[in-house]
A and B are shown apart, each in its own frame.
Chain A
Amino acid sequence: MRKGYAIPIWAAPVAAMVLVLLIDTILFPSFFELRLIDGRLTGSLVDVLIRGTPVALLALGMAGVIATRGIDLSVGAVMAIAGAVAADALAEGAPWTTAVLYALTAGLACGLWSGMLVAFLKLQPIVATLVLMVAGRGIAQLVTGGQITTFDDASFSALAGGTIFAIPAPILIVAAIVLLLTVLVRSTALGLMVEAIGVNPRAAELVGINTRSIVLAVYALSGVTAALAGIIATADIHGADANNAGLWLELDAILVVVLGGGSLLGGRLSYGLTLIGAITLQAIKTGILLAGFPPQMGLILMAVMVSILLVIQAPALQQWLQRRTLRNAAS
């Protein structure tokens, strides 16, 4: 028996992703086939990455929030607001850069609002963000006037449908964001501070971390990434549907963060693993469709998956494993 060897934190999420991709390949042998059609990469794997973009972006923002022991229920509604704002600007003839800027500003404002409620009014994250979750969709409908706003702008639509060097734009956007965030939190002490707040908020404050600013920042970031997801979803369907854009995606996003090894009790932050969680979830959804199951099966499968995750993460099981390792080491 080797002593003092711990399973690395990234092992479980990566193993889960590999397992799901393997099952997909068995169900659908040409899963990994990539082809260049009209200067654009296509294939099931590319499809998984593109379809998973909105949830991946929501989850990247959510990861920071969850790492501080918070939760952001409003991301789906913020997605709808950002989409509505962008579509409204485009419908009135604004250039696509202005539309993107407006949408991101709206997302930032939403994030700052929730962050303010949590960081300064000390409301529980789940209720503080519930306010915007309930009211947000109403605000989005206020912006669109209760209709589905459509627009015709090739540059804006390219955010979802365009390619750079044959790689679809949404994939590049997500990759860039992951890279940017990882560098931001790991080349500075920010990541450590975020995790410290999640492990013990009181202790974090006592060692001199400005917890208020950091909590405000993670919610603001969650608002911005949700807005980005809203922009891509809007560009994808060439219109803003205030009722259905991002509906229930907040739950998917939370699931993705947990799939990526995050703990709802805070203290763990990894944007790379969150991305892996997003790929896993989308690969499962695509796999169900490819296998010819009705899409409703996805709900049951997601329930089973959450249950398995819960059992694995359960403190009781962890303690039992730890005891067993210690006993083995002793003998």
Chain B
Amino acid sequence: MTGQNRTLLVTVAVLVALFAFCASQFPFVVSTRVIGNLLTDNAFLGMLAIGMTVVIISGGIDLSVGSVLAFSAVLLSMLISKRGLDPSVAFVIVLGIGTTFGALQGTAVHVLRAPAFIVTLAGMFLARGACFLLTEDSIPISSATYRKLSDAGLPLGGGAHLTFSALILLASVAFTALLLRRTRFGANVYALGGDRRAAELMGIPVGATTACIYAYSGFMAAAGGILYSLYTQSGYPLAGVGLELDAIAATIIGGTLLAGGYGSVWGTALGILILGLIQLYITLQGTLSSWVAKIVTGALLLFFMGTQKLFSQSSFGTGLFARLSVGAGRHRTFSTEPSQ
């Protein structure tokens, strides 16, 4: 627990430092408007990262989320613009497909005992291919509901609004945090990530839990697709290419261990804000190109893995102290040889 708090503290420290740096260069960043936009602009990525966090805590990985997001957005635009379906019905259909797709992947991971990496790689190809089968063009969405939803929002003060997307993101973070910390399912997720075999022997329904974990990720990816279609007012089959990597990066920067069994969705939310701030700084700065973001993200990944290594039990840090005290204790207890 202390280790978790410490890695989360590092994430908070990085976020505060980044924000202070941005604010020192561009004072207007300290406004509710900018912060509200930060949430809105990263809402769809945030949804993917939330699902990814649950999967990674359980010791798996889900590479299909970016493609599922694109597929959901494309299907929405087809259903609404071409078929004239009501958006609310279309949302239910898309969420259902995303969840089913995820559940199938989870079942495959469990039944085939295959690495999640490869199963979800197949899912990624399949969902992306399905996008192209539906359409090869960008399809605009024009619907009254869409306009209403993207205009809706809670006033934040200072002329800013917490948009519908931002609200959904915040609600999803809170819900997932409760799910992970306060329910049996959440405990099972941590147990699976800690030691799959031990979890099985403890009587945890490993198969059902795995299916649910990937279904949750699929649901979140489909929800991300809905937010993405709200954000761009269209569906485009090439949308969200490589977004799964950003989601994984946000999760790791948020302090979740890729080995599983350890992490929190709050950290992931902070990780999303960190990635968003880097992007914001580059946009404001104007002369930097997008490759700076890539290098900075890579450096942050390395930094956080180093931090985790430092704080995790098996390394120095707390590990070293534990080993030292154990060593000292053993010396006292077992030194039965007669002293010279």
Contact = CB atoms under 8 A, between A and B. Distances in A.
A132 B128 contact: no
Interface stretch (A39-47, A205-213, A303-311): A303-311
B249 interface: yes
- Residue among A71, A134, A255, A264 with the highest chain B CB neighbour number at 10 A: A134
A306 B127 CA distance: 14
Given A127-B252, A134-B294, A134-B297, A306 B133 contact: no
B117 A264 contact: yes
Contacts of A128: 305
Nearest to A312: B112
B198 interface: no
Contact of B301 (A127, A311, A315): A127
A29 to B, nearest CB: 28
A298 B128 CA distance: 10
A314 B136 CA distance: 35
B126 A300 contact: yes
Identify the 7 closest CB pairs spanning chains A and B, nearest first: A135-B298, A138-B294, A299-B129, A296-B132, A300-B129, A303-B126, A141-B291
Interface residues of B, number: 41
Contacts of B289: 141, 146
A166 B108 CA distance: 47
A303 to B, nearest CB: 4
Contacts of B306: 121
Interface in A118-165: 121-124, 126-128, 130-139, 141-142, 146
A62 interface: no
A310 B119 contact: yes
B291 to A, nearest CB: 4
A270 B60 CA distance: 28
A134 B121 contact: no
A137 B291 contact: yes
A227 to B, nearest CB: 19
A303 B132 CA distance: 14
B328 interface: no
Contacts of B122: 302-303, 306-307, 310
Interface in B278-297: 289, 291-295, 297
28 contacts: A123-B305, A124-B258, A126-B117, A126-B258, A130-B248, A130-B252, A131-B298, A133-B245, A134-B249, A134-B298, A135-B299, A135-B301, A138-B295, A141-B289, A242-B291, A258-B118, A264-B115, A296-B129, A299-B128, A300-B133, A303-B126, A303-B129, A306-B118, A310-B108, A314-B114, A315-B113, A316-B111, A316-B112
Given A134-B249, A294-B132, A299-B132, A311 B295 contact: no
B196 interface: no
A300 B61 contact: no
A297 B136 CA distance: 12
A284 interface: no
Contacts, number: 117
B309 interface: yes
Contacts of B130: 300
Interface string A230-274: 000000000000100000000100110010000011000000000
A132 B302 CA distance: 9
Contacts of A138: 291-295, 298
A141 B128 CA distance: 27
Contacts of A310: 108, 112, 114, 118-119, 122
Contacts of B258: 124, 126-127
Given A134-B301, A299-B126, A139 B295 contact: yes
B259 interface: yes
A311 B113 CA distance: 10
A313 interface: yes
Interface of B: 61, 108, 111-115, 117-119, 121-123, 125-126, 128-130, 132-133, 136, 245, 248-249, 252, 258-259, 289, 291-295, 297-299, 301-302, 305-306, 309
Given A123-B305, A254-B118, A310-B114, 17 more contacts: A127-B252, A130-B301, A131-B301, A134-B249, A134-B301, A135-B295, A135-B297, A136-B298, A142-B295, A258-B118, A297-B129, A299-B129, A306-B121, A310-B118, A310-B119, A310-B122, A316-B113
B315 to A, nearest CB: 8
Contacts of A313: 114
Contacts of B294: 134-135, 137-138, 141
A17 B297 CA distance: 40
- Residue among B248, B294, B297, B299 with the highest chain A CB neighbour number at 10 A: B294
A311 B118 CA distance: 12
A314 B291 contact: no
Nearest to A308: B122
Contacts of B129: 296-303
A144 to B, nearest CB: 10
A79 to B, nearest CB: 15
B32 to A, nearest CB: 31
Contacts of B123: 303
A134 B245 contact: yes
A123 B309 CA distance: 8
